[in-house]
Structure 1
Amino acid sequence: MSRIVVTTIGSLGDLHPKIALALELRKRGHIVIFATHKGYQAKIEALGFEFHEMRPDGTDDPSEIARMTDSKTGSEYVVRNWLLPNLRETYTDLLNTARDADFIVAGEIVYAARLVAEKLGIRWASSALQPFSFFSAYDPPVLSVFPFLAKLRPLGVTVNRGAIDFAKSVTKSWAEPIHQLRRELKLPELAGNPLVDDKFSPYLVLAMFSSVLAKPQPDWAANTVMTGFTFYDGDRDRAELTPELQQFLDAGEPPLVFTLGSANVLNPGVFYQESIQAATQLNRRAVLLMGANTLPENLPKDIIATNYAPYSKIFPHACAIVHQGGIGTTAQALRAGRPTLIMPYTYDQPDNAARVKRLGTSRTILRQQYSASRVAKELSELIGDPSHAAKSAEIGRMVQAENGVSVACDAIEKQL
């Protein structure tokens, strides 16, 4: 039996894959301790895990979410105004949590994890929830800050390596707080950029996404194990649709499902208003998953709005899913085997959207182009072409056949 600290920063899309790991590790006899945002305490403790608060706190302030998810400046804002100004607090909180631990499993942007593991002299695993994380020149990502670089993809490795090196150089100065804290802790200097080159563990890197999205590349981090997605969707065995929603689904044709995940839903803009009009123009039934937003009144009888429904339960009922392209939502849509229309915000979302589009299961619409008429046109073409449904079903069977949790936990146990 080992004591394993699982730590993550971010949205439910970051937390849920770690919960999936924790449940399986506990089943295998290990003690799992969580270190994450205070807002997740009730969720973690309800599952019977020990919880330790780790700063920075999360936020549900719409204006702050808007700054964090801006397609041009969101990444820099999050790193330089939220994560690294709190690096010392994150380090202190995680150090206190991990003092008696045998192993740490860290989310990608828990930059303090490497510092704590080195200071305590224990092994650790880093995780990547999406191919975007690897910044591969052989499989270059789509960058929301520099979308024009995506046009260089067909030009080969040499050109794409230059483009990626350019993108890396932009963030080099951002990482100075990490280097400064390493010096204070008398830890060895890092040769690369700890936000990019040196963010991965030298022991184990868990690529926690499906091989349908990407294959291992020569420039991926050493010791990477591709696991497949690790799914957790509430308490999946007991989470059910509300009677009202179930009755709606049973009463007619498969609906469109519109959702913005757990973070971008706090900054929806005109997404839901335009989605209602698009569904009406198409004469299609629709389900709106709206989070904490005020549910609209006087909806057409073929449209229903609800705060929440577990994706694993609602997505298989859809004819198509419209979402923001977060990796958690993307994974659930792929597993459900349904076509998607993606309106990406920032971070990995444009890259996720491009990858599923290349699979033949999805189309992409820019956020500034999200209007009822444009959405109706895109959905009409998406649903009207049976090849999208056929390919989506094929990909769904492939994702369902993977067992990401088991593969990941096997790799962790080899390190213990």
Structure 2
Amino acid sequence: MNHDSSPAGPSARRIVLMAVGSYGDVHPYIAIALGLKARGHNAVVATCACYRKKVESLGLGYRTVRPDCDRVDDPSFMTRYMDPRRGTFRVLRELFLPALRDSYEDAMAAAEGADLLVSHTIFYATRLVAATTGIPWVSTAITPSALYSAYDPPLFPGRPAISRLLRPLGPRFWKGAWSLAGRATRHWAEPIRRLEAELGVTPVKHHPLVDAHSPGLVLALFSGVLAAKQPDWPPQVAVTGFPFYDRRDGEDPGLPAELARFLDDGPPPIVFTLGMSSANVAGRFFEDSLAAAGSIGMRAVLLGKRHGHVEPADPAKAIWCEYAPFSLLFPRAAMVVHGGGIGTTGLSMRAGRPMLVVPFSHDQPDNADRLRRLGVARVLPGPRYDARRAAAALRMLRDDPSYARRAAEVGERVGREDGVAAACDAIEGLLRPGRDGNGAGPPRRGCP
């Protein structure tokens, strides 16, 4: 059964945050919902059924929206959708857009009685609900690549190497490239266009997959250290900082006792971990990671579900751990090896540790390259990851003090940010009398 949390007082507003995807997609909205709840609002997270327990255990309101992401732990399923070249295309064309009508119906039910809607980047139904009901809404971008800029172009997930080579060509080239890419992919959005027409909603002027921003407020839910606000972003964009959340189903147990003892009993280790999606297409990642750490004489923490038959031979040198809060573990690491998902990227930056980023698909290559350009990371694409290459990259990170120095500087800057507070401030600002999330005046039907 869906349920809401109880309002704390007469000034409470019902704010529904709609998000689907992996943990990295959903956790930022849980963090903001908790912040809104602490301020006395009735915060509701509308998300996949597989996250119901996590949301409800935190005392937040919950509503179910489709599509569900319950197969994110299925390796055969994820192999198709984490493909470096075609993964993003498949996620949109095969998962989210075919479910658009279901998403809209669920979102309409979740929005009943809401004072404000907050939408995940690719949960396209929220805009349609706002347009048909007049409920104010806020759009968000959880990664820099979701806010295209010709002045700071992202790496396209299917062609990161080519994007990197062409990056120096400047804004004039990238404006043309983006226009060309938009024309080539506009047909992807036909399900949105059809539903817009059926509902009588004014269509998005440009590309509904990437240009459907709220005219009232867009929250960039990442640090300005990773991507500063650009001159060609919509003027209503507010860069909040990362809204951090890394608890497991509501519990906050600290570090597992065995892991805490391992950390206490020796020098800081290398932490090897992949995100919820990448872990299922990682191949020999953990085997190669264990070998790489051993070859350069460093201890290792292998973090994630047990993979294959990997078992550290010496418990003093390496340990398996299925789960640990990154916010507690990463500051005790010497280096962090991760897949480049936005949640892990933010927590690694705040920890102030050098990184080896192993991107596979979607936003990961762009996040990885931004960390590389900050001077805090080296990048080894997932399909090329093996023990020899990983050891060489880790040795460079360890032996070049500039990585540790720059990582500490970045960690200090990110640590001063409070993404949850900034997002909540912006949301509450939009709810002041005389303002709404569809523009400056009263709600109106069909606003883009």
Normalised-by-shorter TM-score class: over 0.9
- Give the distance between the partners of 1:151 and 1:166, measured in 2 at CA: 18
Task: Give the corresponding residue for 1:22.
Answer: 33
Amino acid of the structure 1 residue aligned with 2:131: E
Instruction: Give the superposition deviation at 1:169.
Output: 2.6
Structure 1 unmatched ranges of 5 or more: none
Counterpart of 1:313 in 2: which secondary structure? helix
- Does residue 151 in structure 1 map to residue 165 in structure 2? yes
Instruction: Give the superposition deviation at 1:277.
Output: 0.9
Corresponding residue to 1:81 among 88, 94, 104: 94
Counterpart of 1:57 in 2: which secondary structure? coil
Counterpart of 2:99 in 1: which secondary structure? helix
Q: How many residues align?
A: 415
- Does the 8 A contact of 1:104 with 1:117 survive in 2? yes
* Matched ranges for 1:294-313 at <5 A: 296-301=310-315, 302-313=317-328
Task: Give the corresponding residue for 1:286.
Answer: 300
- Give the distance between the partners of 2:396 and 2:289, measured in 1 at CA: 16
* Matched ranges for 1:86-101 at <5 A: 86-101=99-114
- Give the distance between the partners of 2:306 and 2:26, measured in 1 at CA: 19
Counterpart of 2:138 in 1: which secondary structure? strand
- Give the distance between the partners of 2:327 and 2:312, measured in 1 at CA: 28
- Give the distance between the partners of 2:407 and 2:312, measured in 1 at CA: 34
Distance 1:6 1:154, change over 3 A: same
Distance 1:295 1:8, change over 3 A: farther
String of CA shifts for 1:377-409, please: whole Å, max 9, x gaps.
000001111110011011000000011111111
Task: Give the corresponding residue for 2:368.
Answer: 353
Instruction: Give the superposition deviation at 1:369.
Output: 1.7
Q: Which moved more, 1:296-305 or 1:12-21?
A: 296-305
- Give the distance between the partners of 2:232 and 2:217, measured in 1 at CA: 15
Q: Which moved more, 1:179-188 or 1:157-166?
A: 157-166
- Give the distance between the partners of 1:264 and 1:153, measured in 2 at CA: 26
- Give the distance between the partners of 2:123 and 2:428, measured in 1 at CA: 21
Counterpart of 2:182 in 1: which secondary structure? helix
- Does the 8 A contact of 1:69 with 1:75 survive in 2? yes
Amino acid of the structure 1 residue aligned with 2:106: D
Amino acid of the structure 2 residue aligned with 1:14: D
Task: Give the corresponding residue for 2:398.
Answer: 383
RMSD of aligned Cα (Å) = 1.4
Structure with higher helix content: 1
Distance 1:119 1:361, change over 3 A: same
Amino acid of the structure 2 residue aligned with 1:190: V
- Give the distance between the partners of 1:35 and 1:399, measured in 2 at CA: 28
Q: Which moved more, 1:187-196 or 1:348-357?
A: 187-196
Task: Give the corresponding residue for 1:62.
Answer: 75
Distance 1:353 1:298, change over 3 A: closer
- Give the distance between the partners of 1:15 and 1:189, measured in 2 at CA: 27
- Does the 8 A contact of 1:87 with 1:111 survive in 2? yes
- Give the distance between the partners of 1:261 and 1:362, measured in 2 at CA: 17
Counterpart of 2:98 in 1: which secondary structure? helix
Q: Which moved more, 1:143-152 or 1:199-208?
A: 143-152
- Give the distance between the partners of 1:278 and 1:377, measured in 2 at CA: 8
- Does residue 343 in structure 1 map to residue 339 in structure 2? no
Structure 2 unmatched ranges of 5 or more: 1-11, 432-448
Amino acid of the structure 2 residue aligned with 1:85: P
Corresponding residue to 2:238 among 221, 225, 232: 225
- Does the 8 A contact of 2:290 with 2:312 survive in 1? no
Amino acid of the structure 1 residue aligned with 2:21: G
- Give the distance between the partners of 2:183 and 2:361, measured in 1 at CA: 19
Task: Give the corresponding residue for 1:320.
Answer: 335
Amino acid of the structure 1 residue aligned with 2:287: Q
Instruction: Give the superposition deviation at 1:292.
Output: 5.9
String of CA shifts for 1:258-290, please: whole Å, max 9, x gaps.
000122112221111111111111111000012
- Does residue 402 in structure 1 map to residue 413 in structure 2? no
- Does residue 39 in structure 1 map to residue 50 in structure 2? yes
Amino acid of the structure 1 residue aligned with 2:49: K
Counterpart of 1:34 in 2: which secondary structure? strand
- Does the 8 A contact of 1:266 with 1:292 survive in 2? no
String of CA shifts for 1:299-348, please: whole Å, max 9, x gaps.
33311011111100110111000110001000000000000000101111
Task: Give the corresponding residue for 1:256.
Answer: 270
Instruction: Give the superposition deviation at 1:219.
Output: 1.2
- Give the distance between the partners of 1:17 and 1:163, measured in 2 at CA: 31
String of CA shifts for 1:114-172, please: whole Å, max 9, x gaps.
00111110110111112111111010001121221322211211011122222323321
Task: Give the corresponding residue for 2:444.
Answer: none
- The percent of aligned pairs where both chains have the same amino acid is 46
* Matched ranges for 1:270-285 at <5 A: 270-285=284-299
Distance 1:205 1:327, change over 3 A: same
> TM-score, normalized by length of structure 2?
0.90
Task: Give the corresponding residue for 2:135.
Answer: 122
Distance 1:355 1:98, change over 3 A: same
Instruction: Give the superposition deviation at 1:359.
Output: 0.7
- Give the distance between the partners of 1:258 and 1:355, measured in 2 at CA: 20
Instruction: Give the superposition deviation at 1:298.
Output: 4.8
Corresponding residue to 1:392 among 387, 399, 407: 407
- Does residue 71 in structure 1 map to residue 84 in structure 2? yes
- Does the 8 A contact of 2:242 with 2:346 survive in 1? yes
Amino acid of the structure 1 residue aligned with 2:118: V
Amino acid of the structure 2 residue aligned with 1:195: L
- Give the distance between the partners of 2:240 and 2:331, measured in 1 at CA: 23
Amino acid of the structure 2 residue aligned with 1:136: S
Distance 1:292 1:180, change over 3 A: farther
- Does the 8 A contact of 1:171 with 1:195 survive in 2? no
- Does the 8 A contact of 2:29 with 2:45 survive in 1? no
* Matched ranges for 1:180-219 at <5 A: 180-197=194-211, 199-219=212-232
Q: Which moved more, 1:136-145 or 1:163-172?
A: 163-172
- Does the 8 A contact of 1:143 with 1:150 survive in 2? no
Distance 1:273 1:71, change over 3 A: same
* Matched ranges for 1:238-249 at <5 A: 238-249=252-263
